Every structure is written in structure tokens, then in C-alpha cells.
Amino acid sequence: LPQDEPVPLAFFVHDAEIVVSLEKTLAGQTVETEKVLDIIYQPQAVFRVRAVTRCTSSLEGHTEAVISVAFSPTGKYLASGSGDTTVRFWDLSTETPQFTAKGHRHWVLSIAWSPDGKKLASGCKNSQIFLWDPATGNQIGRVLAGHSKWITCLCWEPLHINPECRYLASASKDGSIRIWDTLMGRCDKILTSHTQSVTCVKWGGDGLLYSSSQDRTIKVWRSQDGVLCRTLQGHAHWVNTMALSTDYVLRTGAFEPAEATINPQDVSGSLAELKDKAQQRYDQVRGQEPERLVSGSDDFTLFLWRPAEDKKPLERMTGHQALINQVLFSPDTRIIASASFDKSIKLWDGRTGKYLTSLRGHVSAVYQIAWSADSRLLVSGSSDSTLKVWDAKMKKLAIDLPGHADEVYATDWSPDGQRVASGGKDKCLRIWRR
Amino acid sequence: GKWEVPVPKVRAQGETEVLKVIRTGKRKKKAWKRMVTKVCFVGDGFTRKPPKYERFIRPMGLRFKKAHVTHPELKATFCLPILGVKKNPSSPLYTTLGVIGVSTKGTVIEVNVSELGLVTQGGKVIWGKYAQVTNSPENDGCINAVLLV
């Protein structure tokens, strides 16, 4: 096939990847010598992210445990929310503290970057949402208050739908989801239907909003008018977490990780250009099929859904022996990784939900995972105070990263692939690089 | 100071209390054998010496492999396998000779803690820790210990 540049390919025979040689892969399968063998190839990411091996800095500053850590979509800024009610911004070029955003009066439970990287939203236990400007550390606009109980999750509207990054969805323990207009500083819509706490909310790229709740259901809403479309039932206990197949591309917006530079820059261009670029990237990742949604629950199983089409799940993925804390699609949507309290991470096929392998190595519950931008590496942070980098192709442990003094609550890999940030109970944020 | 343990003072046990004299021989005159009357730990690969030559008898009914170990901070108790006896405060004979490992109140034992999932700052997994026995196992039928963190 005529291509602009040579693309690395992965070859699969009967769903088993050819890692060493065709002979070795066939040895494990029963193949008739007279039948024609189909070898399927899949293009992989052109750029290669190098595994992080060392801790370059341990940033102190928070006075309580660090609960969430997030890189901005281009990898230029790093923000962390903590139990000491502050959100801190860190300067990545010198690896020192930059701004401390004070304003919340209770623990900061979740943070979310807008897809253009210009705003950070943070939700606290007092059910307030603040917006911050990463370039100055100051608050933007007014406090968004309206929920009656604490905020569990925040999610921005994707860039390709609205390049101004105006709307923000927030999920709360009071069972409602509010869509806020950040420009006017007021609540636009309130979506109520869940009977118990909403644990996660995701804004899909096709105009649908997905929310999972402790009432064991996942509800699909139309983001245009806030009408409930579907209720996906099937789980037997709280639905803790959800992931969309297009999650990574919605998070990075118009930024293409393959074009990352050593010094991360903001994506430049007019709003229309950004919207086009984001739309292109979204279409490429999504392909022909509708978005897929995977949900992980306290009942130790995951469900794979196609929420835009059907209310019956595609596949029920069992195997974990304790509750599932986080599920993530790989950036190229081919693999699903699930982190659980049973000390293991399981990898599943992203399209069919078939079980691939278990990654064992942690000695305690795995709290959060993060994929590298080329989908080849996975980093996981656990309550045993270590982070581990796994090779997704070899399905083995690549590098062990000890160093934290106590449990690691949050991990994130920057979209340009250069750094991994992790924070936890020991109140210090660690940055890991190659 | 550096070697503080939860149970510092322990009543010393005399030899007549711990070791019972066993009389052998055709006229039961020979009295060189001793039987241990307290709970003891023998390792995995323990095999008795030929009965004619063994001086110390450790009855199978008094051999234990597991201990109920309490973590002092978490206040949770786990049933962990014993790896060995480190020190018995009554007499060095009971520990260092290696012939007898006697567990009684105040003894420091080593237990297998891989179940707790502890990791050092260097990233190594901790699988053995010391614990101090806090009850009299020969009276209770089980070994209760406190983990020395």
C-alpha cells in the first residue's frame, strides 16, 4: 500500500500476535497444512514512547494526600488536586512548584483539563466547582455551585463539537449530573434520573453523554437537550468506572502526540482549524463503528457496550477476584486494561472483549493506570507504594518504579510521552522520566 | 532504646518446668532423656534422630506452624506461618542451640508476612518480619503474637 512514511505493523494469526516468528506462533495452534492461513496486519503508532525509568524529582508542597494528578492535553502543564483543599500547578521544565490555587474549602476530589488546555476544572467535597487558568494560577469566572453533595467526576465537552470548550459536565453523589456553561458561569441543564450517587460521567464524541452510578445502571443522555436515551442495566453492584474507546483522542483534542516536541507547546491555530483537526483525529480513531463503552464494577466484572446502538452488552468480562477500580481503553482502542483490588491488571481485546492476559506483580490493590500515547506501555500505581511499567506487546513487566513512601493514589502519563507523574498518600508528587 | 519490644519483662522458666525427665531402660533407671512440655517450632525439613539416641523429645501435639499475629497500628490479626524462633528470653539453650525452639510468652519469632503486601522504599517485597509472642501457648492451644514494626 502506498504510504507517506513506513508504518510499523503488528501481525496477527487467529487473534494471536506474531511476536517472535510465524513458526512459534503456529506451533501453539492447530492448523491444517492444506488450508489458507489469514495473517491480519494492524498499523501501530508511528512514534515510539520510551519507558520511564527514573524518578527525576519528588515535589513536595501538598500538606495532605494527593488525590488526583493530570497533565494538560498537550503535556505543557501539570496539575494536582489534594486533600489539603488546594490545586497546585507545577512547572515541568524546572520540575518545581509554579502556582497554588486556593479557593476550595474542602478536599479537591476530581480535576479535569479542558481539551484545549486553557482551563482546569476542579470539584471538591463541598460540591463546588472552580475553574483555574494554568498560565497564571488564578480563578476564572465564578464558583459553580449547585450540587447538594460532593462532586465525583468532571468531564468537558469534546473539542470537535465546540472548539471554545464552553460546557462542562459534573457528576455528584446527589445522583444528578449538571451541565455548566463556563462562559456565563451558570448551570445549563440538570440531568436527574439516577437514584444513587453518580460515580462517573463521560462526554462522548457523537453527541451522547454517558453516566454510571451506584444504582447499578449506566444512563445514556443526548447532550443537545439532556434527554435520557437509554439505560444500560446488567451490573450486579455499583458501577465504579467507565471508559470510552475514543477517550484518549477526546482528551487530547487537536494535539497529535506524534508531533510532540521536547518542550511542549500549546496547540496554535484559529478555532476553526482546531475544530477541524480534532474532528479529523476523532474520525480516524473512531473508524466506521460507533463508540464502545466499557464499565467496571464492584461486582468484579466488566461489561462492553455499544451504547449508541444497543442496550444489551456486547460482552461480559469476568475474571477479576476483587472490585475493579479503573478501566481504560488504549489510545488506539485495541486493548482494554482494567485495574483491580485483587493486585492484578487484566488486558482484554478492545473490539470483542475477549480476555488477553493478566499482569501480576503488584503486592497490593492497583489504584490507577495510564497508557502511553503509542499504546505500547502501561503504567500502574498501587497501594503498595510502587509504580510498574508494563510492556503491552510482550505482556510483561518492563520496569519497576519504587520510591513513594506510601500508597500511590493517582498516576498519569503525559500525552507527549515524556513524563509520568504520580501522587499519593505520602503528600509528595513524583515525576518520572527516561 | 533501640531494641524495645512490647513484652519486656518475662518470668524466667526453670529447666524442670520446661523439660520433663523421661525414665527409660529395662528398670526405668536411666534418666537422660528430656521431653519438652512447652509449645515448640520445628522447621520444614525436620526429621527425628533415631529414637534410641534422641535426648530431647518434642511431642507432635506441641508443634505449631502458624501464629495469630496482630499488626499494632492496623489493629488487624492475620494467621501467618512461622519461619523460625529468634530468641527465647528464658535461656539461650532454648534458642541458640537449635535443638529446641520453644515458644512461650515473650519469645521473639520470625513470621512470613508476604500476605500483608509490604514493600520497602527500594521496591523490594518484605516477606519476613519479627513478632513477639504475647500469650502462653501451652495453656491456650494457639500462639498469639504482636508484629514488631
Q: Is the pLDDT of residue A209 over 60?
A: yes
Q: Cα B89 from chain centroid?
A: 11
CB distance A129 to A180 below 8 Å: yes
A7 and A76 housed in the same domain: no
Burial class (CB in 10 A: 0-12, 13-18, 19+), A9: exposed
Summarised one tens digit per residue, pLDDT across range B48-62 is 889 888 888 888 888
Distance from CA of A384 to the nearest CA of B (A): 6
Query: Which one, of A421, A346, A428, A342, lies nearest residue A381 by Cα?
Result: A421
Given a cut of 50, whether residue A9 has pLDDT beyond it is yes
Spatial contact of A301 and A318, defined as CB atoms under 8 Å apart: yes
Q: Answer yes or no: do A33 and A63 share one domain.
A: no
Which residues of chain A lie closer than 8 angstroms to B114, CB-CB? 363
Residue B4 belongs to a domain: no
Clarify whether residues A2 and A88 are in a common domain. Answer: no
Global pTM?
0.84
- Quick: pLDDT tens for A221-257: 998 888 999 999 999 999 999 999 999 988 888 888 7
Q: How far is residue A293's CA from residue A221's CA, in Å, rounded to a whole number?
A: 14
Residue A70 and residue A149 in one domain = yes
Cell of A161: 463539537
Contact assessment for residue A426 and residue A412, using Cβ atoms and an 8 Å cutoff: no
Evaluate whether B86 touches B108 at the Cβ level (below 8 Å).
Answer: yes
Given a cut of 90, is residue B77 above it in pLDDT? Answer: yes
ipTM of the predicted assembly exceeds 0.85? no
Residues 6+ apart with CB under 8 A from B147: B69, B70, B71, B72, B111, B113, B129, B130, B131
Q: What cell was used for A155?
A: 468531564
> What is the model's pLDDT at position A40?
79
Mean pLDDT confidence for A150-168: 91
Evaluate if residue A272 carries a pLDDT over 90.
no
Pick the closest to residue A267 from A284, A288, A281 (CA basis). Answer: A281
Is the predicted pLDDT of residue B2 greater than 70, yes or no? Answer: no
For B137, the domain range is: 15-147
Give the model's pLDDT for residue B99: 39
User: The domain spanning residue A240 has which CATH number?
Assistant: 2.130.10.10
Q: Residues A379, A418: one domain? A: yes
Report which of A164, A121, A115 is spatially closest to residue A143, judged by C-alpha positions: A121
Domain-located, residue B6? no
**pLDDT over 60 (residue B119):** yes
Number of structural domains found in chain A: 2
Does residue B7 belong to any structural domain of this protein?
no
Residue A173 has pLDDT above 80, yes or no: yes
Are residues A11 and A92 located together in one domain of the fold? Answer: no
Q: Which of A386, A401, A428 should one mutate to test binding to chain B, selecting the residue with the greatest count of B CBs within 10 A?
A: A386
Same domain as A12, residue A68: no
Model confidence band, residue B98 (pLDDT cutoffs 50, 70, 90):
very low
- Tell me what pLDDT residue A15 has: 67
Nine cell digits for residue B65: 506452624
Q: Sign of torsion, CA A15 A360 A331 A373?
A: negative
The set of residues, in sequence order, having a beta carbon less than 8 Å from that of A101 and lying 6+ positions away, is A86, A87, A88, A89, A122, A130, A132, A137, A138, A139
Name the least confident of A18-32, A116-130, A293-307, A329-343.
A18-32
**CB B117 to CB A384 under 8 A?**
yes
Query: Which residue is associated with the grid cell 518492563?
Result: A398
Tell me the mean pLDDT in the region A429-434: 91
> Scanning every residue of chain B, which has its alpha carbon at the shortest distance from the alpha carbon of A364?
B117
* Contact status, residue B78 vs residue B146, Cβ threshold 8 Å: no
Read off the pLDDT band of A35 (50, 70, 90).
confident
Q: Would you say residue B142 lies in a domain?
A: yes
Of A363, A400, A401, the CB nearest to B117: A363
Question: Which domain CATH number covers B87?
Answer: 2.40.10.310
Picking from A20-29, A319-328, B112-121, which range would have the lowest pLDDT averaged per residue?
Answer: A20-29
Are A186 and A273 contained in the same domain? yes
Mean pLDDT score of chain B: 83
CA distance, residue B107 to nearest chain A CA (Å): 29
What is the least distance, in Å, from the CA of A389 to any CA of chain B? 13
**Residue B83 above 70 pLDDT?**
yes
B5 in a structural domain: no
Chain B residues lying within 8 Å of A363, measured CB to CB:
114, 117-119, 125
> Are A134 and A171 contained in the same domain?
yes
| pLDDT for residue A44 | 79
B73 touches chain A (CB under 8 A): no
* B37 falls within a domain: yes
Range of the domain at A142: 48-433
Asked if residue A249 and residue A237 are part of one domain, the reply reads yes
Co-location of A138 and A155 in the same domain: yes
Q: Which residue of A has its CA nearest to B124?
A: A402
With beta carbons under 8 A apart, name residues in chain B contacting A405: 121
* Full DSSP string of B78-136: EEEEEEEEEE-SS-GGGTTTSS--B--TT-EEEEE-GGG--B-TTSPBP-EEEEEE-S-
Q: What is the mean pLDDT of chain A?
A: 89
How far is C-alpha A103 from the geometric centre of its chain's CA atoms?
Answer: 26
Helix (H, G, I), strand (E, B) or coil at A124: strand
**B88/chain A closest Cα distance in angstroms:** 32
Q: Which residues fall within 8 angstroms of residue A244, CB to CB, at 6 or more apart?
A: A202, A204, A205, A210, A250, A291, A292, A293, A329
Evaluate if residue B12 carries a pLDDT over 80: no
Q: Cell numbers 462522548 label which residue? A: A204
User: Are A148 and A135 spatial neighbours (Cβ–Cβ below 8 Å)?
Assistant: no
**Helix, strand, coil content of chain A in percent (nearest 5):** 5, 45, 50
Same domain, A187 and A288: yes
Q: Indicate the pLDDT class of residue A24, thresholds 50, 70 and 90.
A: confident
